[in-house]
Amino acid sequence: MNSYYATCPRCGAKFYKDEPWKKVCLDCWLKAKRKPETSSDSYVMSLKSEIRNLRHIVDYYEGYCRQLEQENAQKANGKFAGHIKDLIFLCHPDKHNNNPKATAVTAWLLEARKELCQ
C-alpha cells in the first residue's frame, strides 16, 4: 500500500491518501454524500477550513522568505565577486614582501573566488 498526501481536486485541501481509490478529501466526500451535519461536525469542518487557509498563508510566506533569502545571497555574492579581483591584487604577497599573512589571505580569497564561480 502506497500512502502519501494528495490534493483534493474539489477544494484544494491536502489529505492523507492511504488507499489508491481515495480521490477527494473526507470533507468533500461527506458533502457529496449529503450526510446530515450536526453542530459539532459543522464546527470541526469550519476549523479544518481555517487550518487549510492558514496553511496556505504560511506556505506563501515561506516561499516569499526563501525568495528574499536567495535574492539577498545573490546580491551579496555579486558585490563580493565584483571586488574580489581587486582584493587579491591589493593583498598579494608580492606587494607585501612575501608576508605570511598576505599569503594566507590571498589563498583564502582565491578559494572564495573558486566557490563564487561555481
The model's pLDDT over 32-60, given as tens digits with 9 standing for 90+, comes to 887 565 667 778 888 998 999 999 999 99
What 8-state DSSP symbol labels residue 9? T
pLDDT lower than 50: segments of the chain? 1
Quick one: pLDDT at residue 1?
Answer: 47
Q: In this structure, are residues 96 and 81 in contact, taking their beta carbons and an 8 Å threshold?
A: no
Quick one: pLDDT at residue 55?
Answer: 93
Quick one: pLDDT at residue 77?
Answer: 67
Q: In this structure, are residues 83 and 101 in contact, taking their beta carbons and an 8 Å threshold?
A: no
The pTM assigned to this predicted structure is 0.39
- How many other C-beta atoms are found inside a 10 Å radius of the C-beta of residue 27? 19
Quick one: pLDDT at residue 32?
Answer: 85
Grid cell 502506497 is found at: 2
Of 27, 28, 5, 29, which Cα lies nearest the Cα of 15?
5
Quick one: pLDDT at residue 26?
Answer: 85
Quick one: pLDDT at residue 36?
Answer: 60
Q: In this structure, are residues 88 and 113 in contact, taking their beta carbons and an 8 Å threshold?
A: yes
